[in-house]
Amino acid sequence: MSFTLLPEWAEQDAVMLTWPHSQTDWRDILSDVEPVYVVLCQHITQVQKVVIVAHDESLRKHIERLLADANVDLAQCQFVVTPCNDTWARDHGPLTTQNSTMELCVKDFTFTGWGDKFAAELDNKINKQLATQVLNPNCTFEPVDIVLEGGGIEINEHKVLLTTSECLLNPNRNPHLSKTELELVLQKELGAESFLWLDHGYLAGDDTDSHIDTLVRFAPHNTLVYVKCDDKSDEHYDALNKMEHQLRSFRTPCGNPYKLIDLPWPSAKYDSDGERLPATYANYLILNKTVLVPIYGDEKDQEALGKISLAHPERTVIGVNCLPIIHQFGSLHCITMQLPKGFLR
């Protein structure tokens, strides 16, 4: 019986976070970053559980104190204590598939720090600990010997998989596989029945080789939510303009164009070294009743919240200040991974 990756708006048990600590690249800005994680936990625990990966027992106790001080319901929090290199749960976390009888198969793909750019040996072991410590024993857990990150793919309710050529076909991932061979793998492991390959799109400061979740997101009813750059002087304009043209050419399995919702372009954000940071409103997180959207203290924040409300009218849209997060070149969706209904024991 075939299993298919669930779209992100499917009902969830929890969201997974891997908490930053002093042995990660966050060490110098932990005092700025941890409050963002606490705010995320406040919002998530209002509607579902949160699973927190903690580097060691000492960090777990520290996190519990932070959450208790912020009046987070600790009964809604589960901890997985295991060493970790970093915090990008979207990319080292599990991808959960489901079959027609609602059984879950949790896929553990290989994480290599986006093509061996960064140390990832510990992060690549987190999913096994997740399975040991919190996974429902009725779920199947299946290692997959293919390099794949959750931020690199999107899927909708029609089993259409959306990705970027720059990421999935990059020789730093699976050089032994052609595009056709990779599609066959994704059909087998994730139940994809058709594919949309995005050939354009770029975000300064991005280490992931153009993950789709910074550029274009699926929403229900054949909708694509995408970032649009309208500033011709911006370094992103050419690539994102070509991306928009390609999105307009995409067709659903029934042959119809997709409904397109364009997200505004925030003003450029820089770190203290003058390096541009990857501020994008596309990197939002869908929960059971809400959508958490990264905002950046920008005049376009409110417009972005309104556009995402159009894509998810049945959910409450909430902005979360993610300026501290983009200083490590990711955003809200990158540091989270949804765990569907039935995942937790």
CB 263 within 8 Å of CB 307: yes
Domain count, the chain: 1
Could you tell me the end-to-end alpha-carbon distance of the chain, in angstroms, rounded to an integer?
A: 23
Contact of 246 with 198, CB cutoff 8 Å: yes
Q: Alpha-carbon distance 60 to 81, whole Å?
A: 7
Q: What is the mean pLDDT of residues 51-67?
A: 98
pLDDT at 320 over 90: yes
Q: pLDDT tens digits for 272-316?
A: 999 999 999 999 999 999 999 999 999 999 999 999 999 999 999
Q: Global pTM?
A: 0.97
C-alpha dihedral over 39, 43, 48, 51, to 10 degrees?
A: -10
Under 8 Å CB-to-CB from 13, ≥6 apart: which residues? 48, 49, 339, 340, 341, 342, 343, 344
Confidence at residue 332, expressed as pLDDT on a 0 to 100 scale: 98
Question: Given a cut of 70, is residue 323 above it in pLDDT?
Answer: yes
> How far, in Å, CA of 66 to CA of 39, rounded?
11
**CA angle (19, 24, 30) in 5-degree steps:** 65
CA distance 314 to 279: 26
Instruction: Say if residue 159's pLDDT is above 90.
Output: yes
Would you say residue 345 lies in a domain? no
**Is residue 239 pLDDT above 80, yes or no?**
yes
The pLDDT value given to residue 223: 98
Say which residue the tokens 């027992």 belong to.
57
Summarised one tens digit per residue, pLDDT across range 9-41 is 999 999 999 999 999 999 999 999 999 999 999
Residue 252 scores a pLDDT above 90: yes
Let me know if residue 327 belongs to a domain: yes
- Domain holding 276: CATH number? 3.75.10.10
pLDDT at 136 over 90: yes
Query: In this structure, is residue 279 part of a structural domain?
Result: yes
Residue 37 confidence (pLDDT): 98
pLDDT for residue 1 is more than 90: no
pLDDT digits 0-9 by tens, 72-108 = 999 999 999 999 999 999 999 999 999 999 999 999 9
On the CB side of 314, how many CA atoms lie within 13 Å of its CA? Answer: 9
pLDDT confidence tier of residue 192, bands split at 50, 70 and 90: very high
Q: How far apart are CA 80 and CA 227, in angstroms?
A: 35
What pLDDT digit, counting tens, does each position of 254-266 carry? 999 999 999 999 9
- How far apart CA 112 and CA 213 sit, in angstroms, is 18
Residue 296 maps to a domain: yes
Give the Cα separation of 169 and 184 in Å (integer). Answer: 14
Q: What percent of the chain has pLDDT over 90?
A: 99
Domain span at 210: 4-340
